[in-house]
Structure 1
């Protein structure tokens, strides 16, 4: 986790993660999340240029940070959160995959995603209520330590849905790494 203001923490855990872990349905699904940065106005503008205006080169700014963290992390597979085919066509690239590739990391593409309304257009409540949007391609994750990677952690729903699918398929642990925490 990134350094969040104390009003966003409870027992040294972000309030969002604290709430998730109190729900028996989601308890222990996602081991933990680490975010490098707080999603402030500067980062919001920067990532909008990167994701929505196709300024792919901006991914380079984060490559050393990601590379350094992953050199110390324990994982068998690192899986970027996928985009639906429609969203991938719109953007021309998956922002999470590109961030990993700029850090010279070879991700595993074993999750696919169904098309739905853009996450950025949904309210917090709508995000929390969304149904499972992922499918696991044929891959043996049984007993493996999985690290999910995404650009922004907003509500945790996307990461927890992916983690739930992987845990159901036998993954030993699933944690996540995100560039920013909203």
Structure 2
């Protein structure tokens, strides 16, 4: 096992971290990097937005006011706040091919991920997959040793990070699903970050139309 922090390269001592979720021989992050990943405790019951008390956050209430989207996504569960440290971790992971996030979160995913019949990663378009070299959502499942069901494909569009919030929310459907029967299935979408919730809701709407009983999402960070 590596004895250096996967993120900063500093040597690891024998202390435990992340509430002892990492066993001594599988610890991957040093204390300083470990402290940079801030767990979400409580938050919005609909989307895990931090520091939300007394029910759904404003964003979830707005989604629920639209007949088209009300009830499409059961809920989103996120592990960490999207602070400055997590922004850098995600940038290294997604755009520079550094698997640190997938490896360091694998143990947590196995214990924190909600139960579902099928775990479905949010796909990349062929063009984006070629550009990055791997699907960051699928890699999270692979590193955690969890089953992966690639039911969706994606049309190539401008990066979500380049769009305004309004453009994300009002954009056209970007996913496709082959003819399939998902009757009665409880499905969990897997992605790296939840921001506006548009991506997972577009995916969830197709899965619900294919018969899924319930669709939720699980992400590493909540933006």
Which protein has the bigger strand share? Answer: 1
CA deviation map 1:47-102 (0-9, x unaligned)? 100110111243111111111013xx321101000000000000000001001111
Larger radius of gyration: 2
Which protein has the bigger helix share? Answer: 1
Structure 1: gaps spanning 5 or more residues: none
Structure 2: gaps spanning 5 or more residues: 1-46
Please tell me whether residue 30 in structure 1 is matched to residue 73 in structure 2.
yes
Pairwise CA RMSD of aligned residues? 1.4
CA deviation map 1:109-132 (0-9, x unaligned)? 010000000011111111111111
3-state SS, counterpart of residue 140 of structure 2: helix
CA deviation map 1:12-64 (0-9, x unaligned)? 22322221112111110001111111111110011100110111243111111
Alignment of 1:1-182 (within 5 A): 1-2=47-48, 4-6=50-52, 11-70=54-113, 73-182=114-223
Report the alpha carbon displacement of residue 2 of structure 1 after superposing the two structures with TM: 3.6
3-state SS, counterpart of residue 107 of structure 1: coil
TM-score after normalising by structure 2 = 0.76
Task: List structure 1 runs of 4+ shifted beyond 3 angstroms.
Answer: none
Alignment length (residue pairs): 177
- Structure 1 contact 4–14 (Cα < 8 Å) conserved: no
For the residues of structure 2 that align with 1:33 and 1:14, how far apart are their CA atoms?
A: 12
Higher relative contact order (CA 8 A, sep 6+): 1
TM-score after normalising by structure 1 = 0.92
For the residues of structure 1 that align with 2:138 and 2:57, how far apart are their CA atoms?
A: 26
Report the alpha carbon displacement of residue 136 of structure 1 after superposing the two structures with TM: 0.7
